[in-house]
């Protein structure tokens, strides 16, 4: 039942949130300060690989508590940027950790990692970061 409600909320959010290609425009509109947004993007670009690595290690160790904590942190970072699909994947991983059911953790992490790759490329371009 909870998963059903969450799926409905996610579907509604995806209808109103932009795809990754217009993510920067969405964030500029939401934030209202392009310089601040560039700073936030730079922080995300620096910190997100560390968070993703913590999550990767927690999944490899089959540690539900560590998965829950790492996924929660990642979800918060992604939420600021309006990245709906990545946020949903992080939420799923957080829920898996909470429920101690890691049967799909690797599969969902792969999706999250793919979303991160696209998001990082978009943000690097926007923030003027060097590859």
- Could you tell me which CATH number the domain at 22-125 has? 1.20.120.160
pLDDT tens for each residue of 103-122: 999 999 999 999 999 888 88
CA distances for 121 relative to 61, 105, 116, 131, angstroms: 29, 24, 8, 9
Query: What's the rounded Cα separation, in Å, for the pair 21 and 128?
Result: 16
Say which residues have a Cβ less than 8 Å from residue 122's Cβ, sequence separation at least 6. 20, 21, 23, 24
Q: Identify the weakest region by mean pLDDT among 24-33, 82-91, 93-102.
A: 24-33
Does 23 have pLDDT greater than 70? Answer: no
Query: What's the rounded Cα separation, in Å, for the pair 10 and 32?
Result: 25
Q: Is 32 helix (H, G, I), strand (E, B) or coil?
A: coil
CA distances for 69 relative to 23, 73, 77, 94, 125, angstroms: 26, 6, 13, 7, 29
Does 58 have pLDDT greater than 70? Answer: yes
Closest alpha carbon to 55 in 115, 124, 112, 120: 112
Query: What's the rounded Cα separation, in Å, for the pair 54 and 66?
Result: 8
pLDDT band at residue 38 under the 50/70/90 scheme? confident
pLDDT tens for each residue of 40-55: 788 888 989 999 999 9
Structure tokens at 41: 């993007």
């Amino acid at each position: 039942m909870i998963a059903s409600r969450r799926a409905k909320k996610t579907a509604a959010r995806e209808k109103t949130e932009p795809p990754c290609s217009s993510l920067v425009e969405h964030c500029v509109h939401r934030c209202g300060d392009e310089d601040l947004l560039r700073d936030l993007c730079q922080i995300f670009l620096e910190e997100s690989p560390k968070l993703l690595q913590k999550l990767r290690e927690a999944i490899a160790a089959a540690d539900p508590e560590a998965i829950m904590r790492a996924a929660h942190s990642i979800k918060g970072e992604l939420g600021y940027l309006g990245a709906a699909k990545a946020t949903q994947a992080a939420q799923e991983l957080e829920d898996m950790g909470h429920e101690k059911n890691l049967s799909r953790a690797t599969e969902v992490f792969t999706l999250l990692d793919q979303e991160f790759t696209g998001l990082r490329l978009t943000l690097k371009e926007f923030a003027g970061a060097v590859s």
